[in-house]
Structure 1
């Protein structure tokens, strides 16, 4: 893996081998079916995001793929290994960062990293070298001598991810990695994730922020009631749902009335002096619509284009508004 321009170990990645493959993955707890035969294919060196409402089975999927629990059925390969038959090989190839930090707040940042190096049975010299490289990569050199209890939330999340990287994993499972972070810290962590992928690491991401999946993911899978209801790039999923529209605002009620008659199929808001027009967001169709208004001598005071986002996808595919759930897990 290449990290910050330096190779942390001699690991090489085989582009032709997928990072994660699952076929017919099943899991039940008592009478409750949590995963009902899902299939996954995650290419190496990509970011794969799984979305879904509470109880959809996302966390269970992560726990199975990371060897924390066993599946009831299905075939699985993570970094080329079967989690059931060879869990140690899978654990050696992966990292897992949960929603809640695993940082020991009584230790310094450097001590946390050295502890992880000991757990990975690295020699003292290699452990020190790797800890130093990760402190530098995550902009924690100055803070490295301070106890983690003094760190901000964003610093603790960076340290947590750095601890995951001590083992030089090929695949990293990130379970809601930016929960509770401020916008600046979130974006900083996003860039770190992008840099990791640029170095060949594969990221399996669950998140409660749909814009995060939109920004980061190469592919997105939507899980609902234990089944995959959709998978594709963010752009592909957004094209599957309706909801694109233009919001046009006018200076007075007379202009609003005239625009509504000219445009026909609109939803109007007399208080806001706006009309909402179904629209695909294309430049050509937008120009044609504005030309119709111009030909009728109607002046538009304001214009907003809304194209479907992953919130719309989530609502359309699961029947639930993301905002109505406490978390998307």
Structure 2
């Protein structure tokens, strides 16, 4: 119940003593009352008290008790003006944040040539400029590292070639007792030569896609060649690729990537079952899958198996694996062709490496 009092403003007028609002239940009804006094006619004395009542089933009574429409319109107008002035600002901020998020995700994936808009004059613009500087420096560091590896590997080629030739001459003139030791030496030199060749492969494939001449490549031809070359007397490799499926890549780089994948799968999972190479068209991309039936890779290592010199087994003994460059070469070759390389453990068992390449 609500009420208020109002006193008369001039002498002799009929005062209004009180206004009130009452709510009753069963059924719910709203009552508005106006208590006042009526002035008597001529010759009368005193004022006649009266109460005016109005009843409604709703609080507003169609605007008679309370008209909410002006308030609704006012709130809508305020909200509309706020949206008109603030929406462009909010959209600009969210657009900048989304761009920064995409850029940092690409940098985390190794795409250091990404750049963001740093023309804003606020903190987001400063953050964008910092991201651009960071990506430029990271690109320089990584390029310098790959260039150094290539230079070192190139400089080692000539001494290793002379060393191999010397070992061959020494083996020809060695006694039967000495040949066993010379054979061990020859294997060590060959291992060094293979390592240097892998470093050269990474260096050559590290060129940007724009600097590599790509062409339409028949995927089945390359897959058959890789399987035939790597599976000789080492295990079974099954190729299930449509004969007319093509992709846009550098044939030598795609061949090297598939050969390394098959060789790596045969080394770690060849004893568990066949290695399978499949491929299909998916939208505007060509998807190549190399799967095995081995134990897979521990989940904590999946994000790093494509890093150079990274191995899940910290033991660097030769009988437990290579130098950790095989999958790094795969990623470098595929990225040089404008594609991506990822890996995941299969739900049943085994590892699946997915190569995504453009169709044109």
Place the TM-score, normalised by the shorter chain, in its bin: under 0.3
Of structures 1 and 2, the larger Rg is shown by 2
Structure having the higher helix fraction is: 2
Pick 1 or 2: higher relative contact order, CA cutoff 8 A, min separation 6: 1
Please report the TM-score for the alignment, with normalisation by the length of structure 1.
Answer: 0.22
Structure having the higher strand fraction is: 1
